[in-house]
Amino acid sequence: MKCRKCGEKASVNMRQHKLALCKEHYLEWVPEQTERFIKKYEMFTHAEKILVAVSGGKDSLALWDILNRLGYQADGLYLGLGIDGGISYSHESQRLAEKFANEHNLKLHVVDIEKEYGQPIPVLAEVSHRGYGKPCAVCGLAKRHEMNRIARDLGYDVLATGHNLDDEAAVLFGNTLSWSSEYLLRQGPVLPASDGLARKVKPLCRFYEREMTAYSLARGIEYIYEECPFAEGSQSIYYKELLNQLETKRPGAKLTFYLRFLEARKRGDLFIENNVERAHLHSCPKCGQPTSTEDLCSFCRMIEKVQNTAVTG
Amino acid sequence: MVRLILREKEYEVKPGMTLLSALQKINIVPESVIATCDGEMILDDEILKDGDVVKLIAVISGGMGIATRDSGIVSESRITNSDSRGCRL
């Protein structure tokens, strides 16, 4: 297979675009496309300060690399979750995030959950009894809370995450299976800032996970290959594998599924947004972040419960 | 023979077939992996040669890229050292 631009041997073939490129032209094409998506969805401008949530995985490191190559003001945020799983998962992912930052002379904020709140994520989950034996619910809650807090406290205009199209299609698939209209209405490349919540954007949302892997390999980015030990057997991985089987038979199926959803949502074809009751948000009396209750937010409630347990235990 | 390695599993196929045919034979969903050989990414139409060592990189973090029906694994063993012809990406 030949590169469409130069005729040399191609390294990446994107069947959904009927486009094969050599390594050199692929490494030009990815940032060009990212810039196009940033502008199309009005994610941010060169004048704004961006905080990139960096996990040490391929997508977030690739995103940071691309934004840096495009000349955006992008700093990183690494959250130390305290997950070991027999493979020193958090330790290794932090090492790789710091290595990338050092090699590219980029600013990385490191926040350790255990230092901030007394316990690592698995213990917070165990003590607070959230998440049916797995810490994923607590981890998600803590990450959302901390990313928003830090973006707000440090004066960043926007929070960028490395979600790719496979991530988005898997979420969409899950929410469609259960017709979760509230979640479906919220899904998109940009979640605008509101009521104490920082603007959140996903500049890689139109790239396949395969393409981001290829980008990281071609750029020589060292990333953590192993997934979080708690993610094994997760529903999202199962949905991704199902969608990849579909994609193999029907090239472009994942992209069409996601893009047609965005178009339909924009036109108001899926649900009538006005009919969906919007929850009124209050300010958490402890941390000040938005919450649907008049009392403490879910995160502060969890921390309080953990601290009370530690005192009484 | 051609060796294909995915995480801790190793497969063998006969030389002369394309990468796509090899992946289908060992029942790996092509969309779920990137194949590298001698440090370079290779595509579905690559003809595999005798002695090639193809490293398969799962693109879904945590996923194995293997379909649910019988896998047709020829050999399975833990890889502890990279072969000298192995891929270095």
The structural domains of chain A, ordered by start, are: 31-277 (3.40.50.620), 279-313 (no CATH)
Q: Cβ distance B23 to B30 under 8 Å?
A: yes
Interface test with B, best of A240, A246, A250, A254 (most B CBs within 10 A): A240
pLDDT at A233: 77
User: Closest to B59 (Cβ–Cβ): which among A11, A213, A231?
Assistant: A213
A214 closest CB neighbour out of B34, B65, B67 = B34
Residue B86, domain member (yes or no): no
Does the pLDDT value for residue B74 go beyond 50? no
Q: Three-state SS across B7-40?
A: CCEEEEECCCCEHHHHHHHCCECHHHEEEEECCE
Strand, coil or helix: A22: coil
Is B44 an 8 Å CB contact of chain A? yes
d(CA B61, CA B59): 6
Q: Hey, is the C-beta of A202 within 8 angstroms of any chain B C-beta? A: no
Range from A7-21, A265-279, B34-48 carrying the lowest mean pLDDT: A265-279
Residue B24 lies in a domain: yes
pLDDT at B72 over 70: no
DSSP state of A274: G
Residue that is written with structure tokens 């130069």 in the block:
A6
User: Taking CB atoms and an 8 Å limit, are A232 and B67 in contact across chains?
Assistant: no
Residue A277's pLDDT is 52
Query: For residue B24, what is the domain's CATH number?
Result: 3.10.20.30
Domain assignment present for B17: yes
pLDDT at A192: 94
> Residue B13: inside a domain, yes or no?
yes
Of residues B43, B45, B67, nearest to A245 (C-beta): B67
Is there a domain that residue B21 lies in? yes
Does residue A249 register a pLDDT over 50?
yes
- Which chain A residues have a beta carbon less than 8 Å from that of B44? 1, 13
Q: Is the pLDDT of residue B80 over 50?
A: no
* Best CA proximity match to A18, nearest among A260, A251, A279: A251
Structure tokens at A57: 């995985």
Look at residue B75 and tell me if it is in a domain: no
- What does the pLDDT average to over A163-172? 96
Q: What is the DSSP letter of A198?
A: P
Per DSSP, the three-state class of A202 is coil
Instruction: Note down the domain range covering B47.
Output: 2-58
Mean pLDDT, all residues of chain A: 92
Model pLDDT, residue B83: 29
Indicate the pLDDT class of residue B76, thresholds 50, 70 and 90.
very low
Ranking A201-215, A224-238, A286-300, B62-76 by mean pLDDT, the lowest is: B62-76
Q: Is the pLDDT of residue A189 over 50?
A: yes
- Residues A200 and A159: beta-carbon distance below 8 Å: yes
The pTM assigned to this predicted structure is 0.87
Residue A304 contacts B, CB cutoff 8 Å: no
Residue linked to tokens 């057997």? A233
- The count of domains in chain B is 1
Partner B contacted by A168 (CB < 8 A): no
Instruction: Please list every residue in chain A whose beta carbon sits closer than 8 Å to the beta carbon of residue B41.
Output: 11-12, 23, 214, 217-218
ipTM for this model: 0.84
